[in-house]
């Protein structure tokens, strides 16, 4: 393994930890924001801002930083490798930090709190529209029915992780294509 490939992988791991830490913190902040606020706008907007927009800007920044750290140029393969490692490390960090430690030990009843927040947001929206109480009760009953699905098995959890890793690889290919910058080719004349 040459020096550039080694630096790409090291940068991928470092940037993955940074990305994973920030995404985990944003995810936890989003959870607390939606479960403590009665606003339907916050219930819908916070997860989108915290889990889509901010991470995309962060990934763009980290990808440019990683490319700059190795000299400003990287091929499609190098870009995809560095970005995939960054995404994979961030995914593992977020999965362990949020899905296991936070959800199992810090907030074990988080599902119930999110469901309650969803019901409250739905009620607030329906009341804003001057919906009848009968229709509100029907919508709440449908939401509760949707929430009463059985919990995921270990097989479903493993399948979810595998699908997530495939998705992470596809995203790495996409970002690799977007952020590749091949070194210039010099042609000698004469």
Mean per-residue pLDDT, 101-114: 90
Is 142 within a domain?
no
For residue 85, what are the domain limits?
A: 3-107+156-179
Q: Rounded to 5 degrees, what are φ and ψ at 38? A: -90, -5
Give the pLDDT score at 33.
92
67-99 residue pLDDT tens = 999 989 999 999 999 999 999 999 999 999 998
Is 30 within a domain?
yes
Mean per-residue pLDDT, 144-171: 85
Is 33 within a domain?
yes
Query: Do 74 and 64 contact (CB within 8 A), yes or no?
Result: no
Is 136 within a domain?
no
Is 148 within a domain?
no
Is 37 within a domain?
yes
9-30 residue pLDDT tens = 999 999 999 999 999 999 999 9
Is 46 within a domain?
yes
Give the pLDDT score at 1.
64
Long-range contacts of 35-40 (CB under 8 A, 24+ apart): 35/110, 35/113, 35/114, 35/116, 35/117, 37/117, 38/120, 38/121, 38/124, 39/121, 39/124, 40/121, 40/122, 40/124, 40/125, 40/128
Is 15 within a domain?
yes
Query: Do 113 and 107 contact (CB within 8 A), yes or no?
Result: yes
**Number of domains within the chain:** 1
């Amino acid at each position: 393994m040459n020096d550039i490939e080694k630096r790409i992988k090291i940068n991928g791991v470092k940037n993955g930890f940074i990305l994973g830490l920030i995404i985990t913190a944003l995810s936890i902040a989003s959870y607390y924001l939606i479960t403590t606020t009665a606003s339907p706008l916050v219930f819908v907007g916070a997860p989108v801002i915290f889990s889509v927009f901010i991470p995309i800007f962060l990934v763009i920044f980290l990808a440019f930083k990683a490319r700059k750290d190795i000299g400003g140029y990287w091929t499609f393969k190098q870009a995809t490798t560095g970005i995939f490692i960054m995404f994979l490390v961030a995914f593992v960090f977020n999965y362990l930090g949020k899905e296991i430690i936070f959800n199992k030990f810090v907030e074990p009843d988080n599902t119930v709190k999110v469901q309650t927040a969803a019901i409250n947001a739905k009620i607030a929206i329906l009341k804003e529209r001057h919906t009848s109480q009968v229709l509100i009760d029907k919508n709440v009953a449908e939401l509760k029915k949707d929430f009463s699905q059985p919990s995921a098995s270990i097989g479903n959890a493993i399948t979810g992780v595998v699908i997530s890793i495939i998705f992470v690889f596809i995203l790495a290919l996409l970002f690799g294509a977007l952020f590749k910058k091949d070194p210039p080719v010099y042609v000698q004349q004469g």
